[in-house]
Amino acid sequence: MIGKEIRIERIIDRNTGRAVIIPMDHGFSMGQIDGLLDMTKVITDVSEGGANAIVLHKGMVKRGHRRHGRDIGLFVHLSGSTSLNPDPNDKVQVCSVEEAIALGADAVSIHINLGAPNESKMLETGAKIVRDCNRWGMPLLVMIYPRGKGIDPASPQTIGQCVRVAEELGADMIKTSYPGNPEAFARITKACSVPVFVAGGEKISDLESLEMIRDAVGAGGAGVCMGRNAFQRTDTPAFVRAVCRVVHQNVDPKKALEQP
């Protein structure tokens, strides 16, 4: 799996074993949302802030190839759905591993919602993508959440099941929800053999975001995979710099915000 190891080095910091990943795939599902109207600018902003990698759909990769400035790792997202669908939790494959390789991706990502009506189809698609990733030496990030009727999305038990399903499926990295307290998250990360990133979730204050990230990393998390909580900030580069200080340098959240 030397190909995967080489590519993962462009995403996960070899000194800390952690990463700050900024997904920017939201336009596919939500349309022209604030923060993602000028893709070239926002990609430059998070790169200047020190993020390790971004997540884009295949059609947006050309917007991120700046030909100047700091380099940044690239995930090409293979899953898609729209908010116009009666069931936006139904994710389908919209890009292949081979297409991602041709676009210069360092890794690919997929989205699975456990408990959704089409869970079985998402798992079946995920298994096929795992085979393609293993064939081509391409790292796979599985974004997986508990979402469905009667399911508590913040339950440590259901989040833990999501992480276990992703690991058993063959994920190289996992993104999931934070269960709300470090003790519960520590139990989840301790039982998993691959890096687990916490999702940014709904937009909250700068300090609240950094405190959540601090707690998640302290509980064994490999870092953060956050979208709106990063690219919808008033000063995105400054906020991403603060996130990187917390993730890679263990800086106190308040001090991370105060530093230039």
Residues forming the active site: 25, 145, 175
Whole-angstrom distance, CA of residue 102 vs CA of residue 95? 11
User: By three-state DSSP, how is residue 173 classified?
Assistant: strand
Residue with tokens 């700050």: 20
Helix boundaries (H) for the chain: 2-8, 26-30, 39-48, 61-64, 97-102, 119-136, 156-169, 182-190, 206-218, 228-231, 236-249, 253-258
CB within 8 Å of 217: residues ≥ 6 apart: 18, 223, 224, 246, 247, 250
Q: How many CA atoms lie within 13 A of 110 on its CB side?
A: 32
CB within 8 Å of 191: residues ≥ 6 apart: 160, 163, 164
Give counts: helices (H), strands (E), the chain. 12, 10
